Amino acid sequence: CRTDLAEGAVLLPGFAEFWAGQLVATIQRLSLEAPFRVMKTPGGRSMSVATTSCGDCGWYTDEKGYRYVRADPLTGKQWPKMPDMFFELASAAAKEAGYPDFSPSSCLINRYEPGAKMGLHQDRDEDDQASPIVSVSLGVPARFAFGGLLKTDAVQRHDLFHGDVVVWGGISRLAWHGVSPVRETFHPQTGAMRYNLTFRAINAAL
């Protein structure tokens, strides 16, 4: 089943439920190669979310700015290959939402511990903004806020649960959004953590 959260934003409740156990196990495996780390914004503030990436490039931030990089600055090695299961899941979700040609080249993996949040922002670091972003929520729930194209537009809130997938396309692709501090609670597959996978199409030969 699918629900429109907003113009262009398609919620597929539980779409990834069947894959979820494998996804969580695969995140653990990937993090042995490319460890979770807390990155700093260009302004010098530490994010509360820990991140890693897989695929041809990964999103990175430090004092030099927000960007996609081919090698992991922490290890100097390339990011781990995107697992086929990740690609298949993201492609299937995008197809369900009306994007049969979505071909993600990067997957950002966010890990939220209790209290971690993500302030209101837009995802503008991708050179391909016609493609959607596919996000997969795993573990403890999160209250997600999304507004409009202006930071001052009113926000709607929506709780995202283990296995929920959202395909952010069309107008919503560039909408302001954020995540409220994650509550301290327990999920059998992730303990106190929430994970979010975001699949993105990046064209540049970085």
DSSP state, 183? P
Binds ligand MD5 (CB under 6 A): choice among 50, 60, 102, 123 = 123
The partner in contact with residue 54, picked from Fe ion, ligand MD5, none with C-beta cut-offs of 5 to 8 angstroms by kind, is none
Q: What's the CA angle centered on 74, arms 30 and 60, to 5 degrees?
A: 85
Give the Cβ contact number of residue 8 at 10 Å.
18
The piece of 31-39, 69-77, 82-90, 175-183 that touches ligand MD5 (CB under 6 A) is 175-183
Nearer to ligand MD5, 66 or 76 (CB): 66
Measured in degrees and rounded to the nearest 5, phi and psi for residue 56 equal -70, -25
Q: In 116-193, where do the E strands start and end? A: 118-121, 133-139, 142-146, 156-160, 165-168, 177-179
- The minimum distance between CB 84 and ligand MD5, in angstroms, equals 22
Q: Choose from Fe ion, ligand MD5, none: what does 196 bind? Cβ within 5-8 Å by kind.
A: ligand MD5
60 part of the interface to ligand MD5, by CB under 6 A: no
- d(C-alpha 145, C-alpha 88), whole Å: 27
Amino acid symbol at 144 = F
Instruction: Tell me if 199 contacts ligand MD5 by CB under 6 A.
Output: no
Nearer to ligand MD5, 76 or 119 (CB): 119
Indicate which single residue of 56, 72, 123, 126 sits in contact with Fe ion (rule: CB under 5 A).
Answer: 123
Of the residues 89, 135, 165, 199, which one makes contact with ligand MD5 according to CB under 6 A: 135
Question: Residue for token digits 């979010």?
Answer: 196
Residue 21: helix, strand or coil by DSSP? helix
Does residue 56 interact with Fe ion by CB under 5 A? Answer: no
Mark out the alpha helices in the chain (DSSP H runs): 20-33, 84-96
With CA atoms as reference, report the closest residue to 89 among 170, 198, 184, 176. 198
190 near ligand MD5, rule: CB under 6 A: no
Residues lying near ligand MD5 in the complex (CB under 6 A) are found at 9, 108, 110, 118, 123, 133, 135, 146, 168, 172-173, 175, 177, 179, 196, 198
